[in-house]
Structure 1
Amino acid sequence: MRILYFAWLRAKIGTAEEEVAPPAGVATTGDLITWLQSRGPNYADALANRAVVKVAVNQDYVSMDHPVAPGDEVALFPPVTGG
């Protein structure tokens, strides 16, 4: 699974993207975020407030209960603002 991080999430986590192999119990985007939070303090801090983390799976916006699979591309980013 390929994870992409954008904006301040990238800065806090310390990488723009990575390949991961989550454990078998990770079935949804919410499960994935919970697992990522357990990977260290920088992940826990960046992903602490799920209300400000948006998720896309294979370039489609999804909810926290959307299923994920090993070949997916998951993008995590803050809400987009304009002006």
Structure 2
Amino acid sequence: MTVTLRFFASLREKLGETDSLTLPSGSTVGDARDALMARGGAHAEALARSRAVRAAVNQKMAAESVVLAEGDELAFFPPVTGG
């Protein structure tokens, strides 16, 4: 299956605005993050497990255990701060 990727804030600066990723059926948000980190370079650095990164699937916050479906939009972004 193929999902559309979107990156926001500092992740967009490092990885670009959009991308796509092909994964096996039944893959989760965490699997997608692992696959992106396996690309190495900027992806491995920006999405490292030591970094706080949030995800949304189809514009709804999603845990790493959420199972993805064909055509989903998966967005990654840093935590939001402010007040």
Residues in 2 aligned to 1:58 and 1:45: alpha-carbon distance in whole angstroms: 25
**When you count helix as a share of all residues, which structure comes out higher?**
1
Q: How many residues align?
A: 81
Residues in 2 aligned to 1:34 and 1:46: alpha-carbon distance in whole angstroms: 12
Match 1:3 to one of 5, 12, 17: 5
Residues in 1 aligned to 2:65 and 2:50: alpha-carbon distance in whole angstroms: 12
TM-score by length of 2: 0.86
Cα pair distance change 1:60/1:50, threshold 3 Å:
farther
* Contiguous gaps of at least 5 residues in structure 2: none
* Contiguous gaps of at least 5 residues in structure 1: none
Aligned-pair identity in percent equals 40
Corresponding letter in the other structure for 1:80: V
Corresponding letter in the other structure for 1:74: L
SS in 1 for 2:22: coil
The runs of at least 4 aligned residues of structure 1 exceeding 3 Å deviation read: none
1:28 equivalent in structure 2: 28
